[in-house]
Amino acid sequence: MSKTRLRNLWFDVHKWIGLLLAVLIIPLSLTGSALVWHDWLDARVNPERYAVSGAATLPASRYVEAARAVLAPGEQVVSLRYPEHGDGPVMVSAAPAKAGTAAGPPRRTNVYLDGATARVLDKAGSREGLVQVLHVLHGSLMVPGMGRQIVGWIGVAMLVSSLTGLWLWWPLTGSFARGFRWKRRPQFDANLHHQLGFWICIPLAMLSFTGAWISFPAFFGPMVGEKPPQRPAPAPALAQPVQQVDTVVAKAGGQPVSIAWPTGKSPVWKIGLERGEAEVADATGAVAIKPPKPETIARTMRRWHDGTGMGPLWQVVIFLGGIIPAVLSITGITMWVNSRKWRKRPTRRVAPAE
């Protein structure tokens, strides 16, 4: 295959990926950008739940007692999470009286409390609110069952689009620097598409690849010797635990980050610490200290994708990696529309000389 025919092939692949999937790529990209600063966005949308008056210094039982006062009959506390870096509300989560059958994470009622006073600041379902809608839209396009796989295949398509876009950007003749010229085309949208596409193609390829990895852990995991994560059905918490939550926290030692209540399948309290985890058997009170879990490739892929713990510069790159593809989708459509208009123009015939 000649170089020209190969270039035309990559152009067709790049064009039709953008045109056919634009309606899906745009919401995925924009929601990904918004979720980079999840906590900041949540605080802007729900300022009442972040109106804390001080640090979380009260016993855990105080938060549990305050949360239970606003829970519906039958709802049962299953976990407690302290604010990261001491800034924000304490969150107590409760499971409904009757477990749901819908796919995805189990439904929870989250109660947000002021850490200094245990005053209830807000109560909301785990699938309610703008930020949660953005999570569901980005993770599954709100499609039950197959949504996660659809998002994964879109990630594969965006990876191909990134690489073919770089191929098409590369100048056919002359030096590499020719690709940076603004007026490679007469149209503004075409020049904008070429320039933005070059600068974002590598970050976008990374985000697309890591997104596909997250969507297909059973496929990618064995390639690096990792088993896909097991997601057993959630079990109800014990109705009457033997141990008291304050006693469990004292036995664990250290500053707790989270507390998970014992269940019928796993009758142990799990206390997340700043480093590692402590498990306290509910029946006997025996304590087992678990060291921090080693970083897995799957976890690294997720951190690269969402920017957790990667610093502000990386998060800015991810943010732009969501905004710019949306712009590229729009300019790609306008370029295609303009090309069709140009082809439909009647050719001017030159009158013969007299």
In a domain, 330, yes or no: no
- Distance between CA 245 and CA 249 in Å, rounded? 6
- Distance between CA 260 and CA 273 in Å, rounded? 12
Domain that holds residue 116: 54-127+232-295
State the pLDDT confidence band at 354, using cuts at 50, 70 and 90.
very low
Torsion, Cα of 45, 46, 47, 52 (10° steps):
-150
41 in helix, strand or coil? helix
Same domain, 81 and 192: no
316 in helix, strand or coil? helix
**CA max distance for the chain:** 110
In a domain, 341, yes or no: no
Task: List C-alpha distances in Å: 67 to 70, 94, 100, 112, 261.
Answer: 6, 9, 21, 8, 15
pLDDT digits (tens, 9 = 90+) for 236-276: 778 789 999 999 999 998 889 999 999 988 899 999 998 88
pLDDT above 90: residue 22: yes
Same domain, 210 and 243: no
Same domain, 142 and 219: yes
Same domain, 306 and 251: no
Mean pLDDT of 161-181: 83
In a domain, 339, yes or no: no
Query: Which of 279, 295, 311 delimits the end of a domain?
Result: 295
In a domain, 173, yes or no: yes
Same domain, 153 and 66: no
Same domain, 280 and 144: no
State the pLDDT confidence band at 153, using cuts at 50, 70 and 90.
very high
Same domain, 199 and 74: no
Q: Which of 10, 125, 37 is nearest to 322 (CA)?
A: 37
If one compares 179 and 140, the residue with the highest pLDDT of the two is: 140
Q: How many domains does the chain have?
A: 2
State the pLDDT confidence band at 101, using cuts at 50, 70 and 90.
low
- What order of strands is seen across the sheet that includes strand 256-260? 120-125, 109-113, 90-95, 76-81, 256-260, 268-273, 277-281, 287-290
pLDDT above 60: residue 74: yes
pLDDT number for residue 152: 96
pLDDT above 90: residue 7: no
pLDDT above 50: residue 116: yes
pLDDT number for residue 110: 96
Same domain, 279 and 244: yes
- Distance between CA 81 and CA 256 in Å, rounded? 9
- Distance between CA 30 and CA 24 in Å, rounded? 10
> Which residues have C-beta within 8 Å of that of residue 106, sequence separation ≥ 6?
95, 99, 100, 234
pLDDT number for residue 351: 42
In a domain, 93, yes or no: yes
Same domain, 264 and 216: no
In a domain, 221, yes or no: yes
Mean pLDDT of 16-33: 95
Task: List C-alpha distances in Å: 72 to 90, 178, 198.
Answer: 19, 66, 54
Same domain, 210 and 321: yes
SS (H, E, C) 154-212: HHHHHHHHHHHHHHHHCCCCCCHHHHHCCCCCCCHHHHHHHHHHHHHHHHHHHHHHHHH
- Distance between CA 122 and CA 75 in Å, rounded? 16
pLDDT above 70: residue 232: no
In a domain, 337, yes or no: no
pLDDT above 80: residue 185: no
Reported residue count of the chain is 354
Same domain, 203 and 215: yes
Same domain, 214 and 312: yes
> Which residues have C-beta within 8 Å of that of residue 147, sequence separation ≥ 6?
139, 140, 141
In a domain, 49, yes or no: no
Q: Which residue has the tokens 């974002």?
A: 200
